């Protein structure tokens, strides 16, 4: 492991909205990563989600394959995802389970897969509770991000950037296998997240690393330590586009440390129909828009079809 990166800590419960939003602005300019504390999701719920996640991944493979991913949601077995940067011939050493809101139009287009109630009775209520609770965090946080960009607090909601039914939760299990040749084994190869913001909870096992300068060779990877009870938050590519590159969607990966690891990533993403266009407040004569407007669903379609084997784009 390399050096540990000291990330800024943002206290979501602070009543000083303006000073919190300026801390967020600085964190997004410098790192694109920060810790979020006092967010209102209880440790009990976070631990409950990790526990239920462990139970799901412990099911026999054929039981998990009944829920195999169609489109965006469901179970993805080991090695299914293979980002461009992957050096592994067989894909990332991780298995995942993705679900979204059970309510609204999107839940009809992309139906959730659930494990059988007889097998895991607490699974669905725990996950649905987590989804709803984290959406409140996402909404509050995006309000502060909007303030950090000198926009109205409800800007992202108004433009469809925040839709409490468009987020997805991804449960991850990294088996932690090590390569006998001494090479780095990636549970998640170097990538940036596609969407707006990601809220990550982990079981405390290390492995997450960021590369602050993706153009520098050789790449410098710094470790992100887990902080108990805190979310690790990072900016995604669509937010980077929105801010004309001002806020950074930082490259990151998960390396194997020889120990099994569980994490839960919540991708707070725009509504599929939301058009993401460089904000005027982030452009000027000397800094013209660097990205053309893009519809979220078209952007995701392109990105997913590059990384997921058998991606069809529909439910």
Which does residue 266 touch among Fe ion, ligand AKG, none (CB within 5 to 8 A, set by kind)?
A: none
Nearest CB to ligand AKG, comparing residues 137 and 186? 186
Fill in the per-residue mask, 19 to 58: x = in contact with ligand AKG (CB under 6 A), - = not in contact.
----------------------------------------
**DSSP for 288-314?**
---S--EEHHHHHHHHHHHHBTT--S-
Task: Give the count of residues interacting with ligand AKG (CB under 6 A).
Answer: 11
Look up residue 191 and give its two tokens: 């990538």
Cα–Cα distance measured from residue 96 to residue 88, given in angstroms and rounded to the nearest whole number: 18
In contact, 10 and 217? CB cutoff 8 Å: no
Q: What is the three-class DSSP state of 15? A: coil
Contacting residue, 76, 93, 202, 244, with ligand AKG by CB under 6 A: 202
User: Is the Cβ–Cβ distance between 260 and 175 less than 8 Å?
Assistant: yes
Taking alpha carbons only, the member of 86, 91, 61 closest to residue 75 is: 61
Residue number with CB closer to ligand AKG (219 or 275): 219
Q: Which is nearer to ligand AKG, 241 or 303 (CB)?
A: 303
The set of residues, in sequence order, having a beta carbon less than 8 Å from that of 179 and lying 6+ positions away, is: 185, 256
Cβ nearer to Fe ion, comparing 115 with 226: 226
Q: Which stretch binds Fe ion (CB under 5 A): 76-84, 187-195, 221-229, 276-284?
A: 187-195
Nearer of residues 27 and 254 to ligand AKG, judged by Cβ: 254
Binding Fe ion (rule: CB under 5 A), the pick from 52, 80, 95, 193 is 193
Strand runs labelled E in 165-246: 168-174, 186-191, 197-202, 208-211, 222-223, 231-235
Q: What is the CA radius of gyration of the chain?
A: 19
Q: Which is nearer to ligand AKG, 151 or 304 (CB)?
A: 304
**Min separation Cβ 236 and Fe ion, Å:** 8
Instruction: Choose between 208 and 230: whose C-beta lies nearer to ligand AKG.
Output: 208
Q: Which one of the spans 127-135, 193-201, 218-226, 302-310 is the region binding Fe ion (CB under 5 A)?
A: 193-201
Burial (0-12, 13-18, 19+ Cβ within 10 Å), 249? buried
Residues 154-193 that bind ligand AKG (CB under 6 A): 170, 172, 188, 193
Stretches 27-35, 38-46, 53-61, 200-208: which one binds ligand AKG (CB under 6 A)? Answer: 200-208
- Give the contact letters, 239-258, x = binds to ligand AKG (CB under 6 A), - = no: -------------x-x----
**Which two three-digit tokens encode residue 73?**
């949601």
Residue 284 makes CB contacts below 8 A (sequence gap 6+) with none
212 vs 117: CA distance, rounded Å: 43
The binding site for ligand AKG (CB under 6 A) comprises 170, 172, 188, 193, 200, 202, 208, 252, 254, 263, 265
The binding site for Fe ion (CB under 5 A) comprises 193
């Amino acid at each position: 492991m390399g050096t540990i990166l000291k990330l800024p800590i943002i206290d979501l419960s602070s009543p000083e909205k303006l000073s919190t939003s300026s801390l967020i602005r600085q964190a997004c300019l410098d790192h694109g990563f920060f810790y979020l504390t006092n967010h209102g999701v209880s440790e009990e719920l976070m631990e409950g989600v990790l526990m239920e996640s462990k139970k799901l991944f412990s099911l026999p493979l054929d039981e998990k394959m009944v829920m195999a991913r169609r489109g965006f949601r469901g179970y993805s077995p080991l090695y299914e995802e293979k980002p461009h940067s992957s050096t592994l011939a067989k894909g990332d050493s991780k298995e995942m389970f993705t679900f979204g809101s059970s309510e609204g139009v999107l839940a009809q287009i992309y139906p959730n897969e659930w494990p059988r109630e007889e097998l895991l009775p607490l699974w669905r209520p725990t996950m649905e509770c987590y989804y709803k609770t984290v959406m409140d965090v996402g909404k509050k946080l995006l309000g502060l991000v909007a303030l950090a960009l000198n926009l109205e607090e409800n800007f992202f909601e108004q433009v469809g950037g925040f839709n409490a039914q468009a987020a997805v939760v991804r449960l991850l299990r990294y088996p932690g296998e090590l390569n006998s040749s001494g090479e780095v084994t990636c549970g998640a190869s170097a990538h940036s997240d596609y969407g707006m913001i990601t809220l990550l909870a982990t079981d405390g096992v290390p492995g997450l690393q960021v590369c602050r300068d993706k153009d520098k060779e050789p790449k410098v990877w710094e470790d992100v330590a887990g902080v108990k009870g805190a979310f690790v938050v990072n900016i995604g590519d669509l937010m980077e586009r929105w801010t004309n590159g001002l806020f950074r969607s930082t490259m990151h990966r998960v390396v194997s440390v020889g120990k099994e690891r569980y994490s839960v990533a919540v991708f707070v993403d725009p509504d599929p129909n939301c058009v993401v266009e460089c904000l005027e407040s982030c452009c000027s004569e000397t800094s013209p828009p660097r990205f053309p407007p893009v519809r979220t669903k078209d952007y995701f379609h392109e990105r997913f079809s590059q990384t997921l084997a058998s991606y069809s784009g529909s439910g």
